[in-house]
């Protein structure tokens, strides 16, 4: 995986979904540059990855990739309580902006 390219694309997506706090976005991008990518073992996460893969396979034939990425951000996901990824991202960034030292990111909801 080309991690720098992924981090850059993530930054573009954050802007596209309306994340306005540039310093929080850049901090998140820096943190992503230090991540470790491992296989998923949560069935809900694997199901979401499979659902996204099917949607991607169909949508990418009809739309440019940036549009497809925005489409995926509007599909409810089980691991985040059937919420939309773009809404969860906005909520998490709002928490970081409100209280940067106490914000915690919990992506998988029970």
Q: What is the pLDDT of residues 38-69, one digit of tens each?
A: 888 889 999 999 999 999 989 999 999 889 99
The reported pLDDT for the residue numbered 102 is: 53
Which among 97, 6, 95, 75 has a CA at the least distance from the CA of 105? Answer: 95
The reported pLDDT for the residue numbered 100 is: 63
Give yes or no for residue 108 having a pLDDT over 50.
no
The reported pLDDT for the residue numbered 11 is: 92
d(CA 97, CA 66): 26
For 49, counting Cβ atoms within 10 Å of its Cβ (0-12 exposed, 13-18 middle, 19+ buried), the class is middle
């Amino acid at each position: 995986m080309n991690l720098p390219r992924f981090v850059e694309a993530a930054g573009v997506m954050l802007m596209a979904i309306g994340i306005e706090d540039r310093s929080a976005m850049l901090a998140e991008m820096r943190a992503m540059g230090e991540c470790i990518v491992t296989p998923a073992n949560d069935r809900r996460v694997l199901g979401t990855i499979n659902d996204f893969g099917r949607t991607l396979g169909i949508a990418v034939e009809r739309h440019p990739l940036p549009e497809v990425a925005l489409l995926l951000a509007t599909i409810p996901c089980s691991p985040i309580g059937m919420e939309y990824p773009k809404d969860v991202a906005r909520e998490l960034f709002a928490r970081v902006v409100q209280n940067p030292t106490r914000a915690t990111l919990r992506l998988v909801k029970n």
